[in-house]
Amino acid sequence: MRIIGIDPGSVVTGLGIIEVVNGTFKVLSYDALKMNSKQPIPSRLKMIYDFCIARIEKYKPDELSVETAFFGKNIQSTMKLGQVRGAVMIAALNSGLRVFEYSPREVKKSVTGSGSASKPTVQTFIKNILSVKDNKMLSDSSDALAIALCHYFNGGEKIPAVKIRGRRQDWKEYIEKNPDKILRRKK
């Protein structure tokens, strides 16, 4: 199985592709797209889309995993991150890939055992697990590889999903169980 992991960012987007055969990991590629923060966001979104499409076409992964949005104090940053995630997901869907998402905490916990691990700790674990010897690897790239590994370790839970009482549930099931929470258009 080939998994592409994406660490979305509006200035730096990390990408990592792993292949898993009989429980053995192989790194196929990792990279980070660095963009100019002064460049208009639509141009950066196109660059991210093209970056993802090029790697998907070259490595032909089976599934794409992406980190969920981190909600900070700056709403503009959160909105840009949502747009970046959208560009990544559309690239995957246009390429016929299934998309999965994981929170930063889930990714850290699956790779290091601690949901509050630091970026350097995650990078150290990634290098050890995947036998990467690159001392110049960017944290965005190691985070992307961690996202791909997280997907493998979690067995690929399909999104969109909502956690309800400790178990994952898809949106269709949620809507069926909670019709009163759905806003319907008047005809």
Summarize the confidence of residues 151-169 as an average pLDDT: 57
The C-alpha torsion from 95 through 175 and 150 to 71, rounded to 10°, is: 100
- pLDDT higher than threshold 60 for residue 140: yes
Task: Report pLDDT digits (tens) over 37-50.
Answer: 999 999 999 999 99
The pLDDT of residue 164: 39
Task: Report pLDDT digits (tens) over 9-34.
Answer: 999 999 999 999 988 899 999 999 99
The pLDDT of residue 178: 66
Question: What is the pTM for the complete model shown?
Answer: 0.82
Tokens 């969109």 -> residue: 160
**Closest by CA position to 64, among listed 90, 105, 98, 19:** 98
User: Does domain 2-156 bear CATH number 3.30.420.10?
Assistant: yes
Catalytic residue numbers, as ranges: 7, 67, 140
Domain ranges for the chain: 2-156, 157-187
Output the six-digit token pair for 82: 């949502």
**148 confidence band (pLDDT: 50, 70, 90):** very high
Task: Report pLDDT digits (tens) over 95-127.
Answer: 999 999 999 999 999 999 999 999 999 999 999
